């Protein structure tokens, strides 16, 4: 099937409380991250809010390379919704009204089921058999109880891309979602192997509020930029 959308821009949400809590717990050797909400309810930090505002100003800036999105689709998770809300407010302050977003459950973060928001140390302590299975099957193929693996994410995102082509031919689409979504979009669009995805992760992964952009080239999408964060230079928590 030919690609019909003109451009796909994928943005990870701004820094979240989980993005701070997990590394802090790991550094301290603590299994408990201190998070008490569900994954869908994780909030942005003050820095994440500042990153979202910087994203909005970047979308409003004149550029010979990029044009503002015509369609916006967000993950329904709070950290993604707030990233776009703040970005849209900042963009409006810079003179550009961004589209009203729609929300699609296919853009949620990787579903971890019974292991949701648990650190690896906590999983080792509470579910040692699952921890062993995770190590044996690897990051990409391990499916936690009640959760999903990366092929599952690819299946839902593949159907989303098909729907985008049907609904938004010739249009520029922005999605605001999660690191797993951006990684798997690259896998689907570029046909990357899991080894190649591993190298992306080893190189630092997907940056908060980073921009990844694909543009139509003939009958397919091609990567135009990846993990761009120049718009975050000098950004600090308010």
The DSSP-derived string for 210-230 is: -EEEEEEETTEEEEEEEEE-G
CATH of the domain at 69: 3.40.50.1240
Alpha-carbon dihedral of residues 68, 53, 14, 30, nearest 10 degrees? 180
pLDDT greater than 80 at residue 64? no
Read off the tokens for 214: 């694909």
Q: Is residue 3 situated within a structural domain? A: no
Count how many domains the chain has: 1
Residue 4 maps to a domain: no
Its domain, for residue 228, covers 10-232
Q: Is residue 40 part of a domain?
A: yes
pTM of the model: 0.96
- The answer to the question of residue 238 being in a domain is no
What is the spatial distance between Cα 60 and Cα 69, in angstroms, rounded to a whole number? 10
**Model pLDDT for residues 130-185, shown as the tens digit of each residue:** 999 999 999 999 999 999 999 999 999 999 999 999 999 999 999 999 999 999 99
Alpha carbons 135 and 56: distance in angstroms, whole number: 39
Query: Beta strands 220-228 and 102-103: pairing type?
Result: unpaired
pLDDT tens figures, 208-226 = 999 999 999 999 999 999 9
Higher confidence at residue 182 or residue 67? 182
The greatest distance separating any two alpha carbons of the chain, rounded to the nearest whole angstrom, comes to 55
18: in domain? yes
For residue 2, being part of any structural domain is answered with no
Alpha-carbon span 205 to 151, nearest angstrom: 18
Q: Domain for residue 1, yes or no? A: no
Residue 30: inside a domain: yes
């Amino acid at each position: 099937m030919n690609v019909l959308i003109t451009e796909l821009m994928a943005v990870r949400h701004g820094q979240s409380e989980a993005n701070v809590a997990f590394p802090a717990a790991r550094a301290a050797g603590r299994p408990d991250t201190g998070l008490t909400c569900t994954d869908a309810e994780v909030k942005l930090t003050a820095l994440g809010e500042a990153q979202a505002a910087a994203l909005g100003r970047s979308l409003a800036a004149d550029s010979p390379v990029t044009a503002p999105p015509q369609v916006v689709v967000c993950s329904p998770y709070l950290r993604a919704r707030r990233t776009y809300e703040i970005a849209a407010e900042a963009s409006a302050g810079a003179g550009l009204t961004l589209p009203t977003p729609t929300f699609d459950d296919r853009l949620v973060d990787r579903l971890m089921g019974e292991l949701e928001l648990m650190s690896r140390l906590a999983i080792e302590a509470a579910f040692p058999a699952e921890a062993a299975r995770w190590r044996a099957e690897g990051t990409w193929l391990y499916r936690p109880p009640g959760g999903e693996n990366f092929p599952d994410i690819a299946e839902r995102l593949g159907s989303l891309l098909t729907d985008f082509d049907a609904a938004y031919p010739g249009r520029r689409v922005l999605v605001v979602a999660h690191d797993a979504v951006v990684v798997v979009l690259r896998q689907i669009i570029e046909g990357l192997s899991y080894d190649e995805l591993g190298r992306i992760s080893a190189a630092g992964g997907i940056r908060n509020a980073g921009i990844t952009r694909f543009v139509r080239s003939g009958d397919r999408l091609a990567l135009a930029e990846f993990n761009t964060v120049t718009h975050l230079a000098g950004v600090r928590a308010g």
